[in-house]
Amino acid sequence: MIRIKIKKPKLDINPETRNFLISFLITGLITYALMYAEIWQLIIIPGIIGGLFNKTMRRGIYGGALGVSIVWIFYLIYLMLAKNFYTNLDQFAGLIFGGLGYGSVILLLIILFVILFGALGGAIGSGIMILIKPRFEKSTEVEIKPKTTARNSN
């Protein structure tokens, strides 16, 4: 019998990119869970939790904004296809603007606010980590020295 060796692919991803992908996925999953529980008002919380995984503010903002907005865009597409959501948006926009045909403006405003709240949450989360991490690293660098005891001269 001949054994065939299969080489496993190596994923050479730097830690910052790996943390960004993890934060993006966690943000998306928490956003989906909050939307499934119909608590969409807490949209900033997934961004904060996702931002905690990133070292830089930029990656925290991108991770929060992308994670929250992609899930929301798919959710809005689902609502438009399955639950006649766009007609309700169009009627709501008609009440505001005085005519029909402005539902897309309200839809774009929803997407804009979702992106802004996700980015704000990511910025808050990564800002918390930027503030906390140096203190945490400083406290772990303290050396623990054993106690010296006096010897008995008896």
CA 114, CA 27: separation in Å to the nearest integer? 13
Rounded to the nearest 10°, the torsion over CA 86, 87, 92, 97 is 90
- Condensed to tens digits (0 to 9), the pLDDT of residues 70-120 reads 999 999 999 999 988 888 889 989 998 888 888 889 999 999 999 999 999
Other CB atoms within a 10 A radius of the CB of residue 33 amount to: 12
- Condensed to tens digits (0 to 9), the pLDDT of residues 36-65 reads 898 888 999 999 999 999 989 999 999 999
Name which of 44, 18, 22 is nearest 31 in CA terms. 44
pLDDT, residue 85, reads 87
Report whether pLDDT(127) > 90: yes
pLDDT, residue 118, reads 94
- Asked whether the beta carbons of 59 and 15 are under 8 A apart, the reply is no
Other CB atoms within a 10 A radius of the CB of residue 107 amount to: 17
- Condensed to tens digits (0 to 9), the pLDDT of residues 12-38 reads 788 888 889 999 999 999 999 998 898
Please give the model's pTM, rounded to 2 decimal places: 0.77
pLDDT, residue 114, reads 95
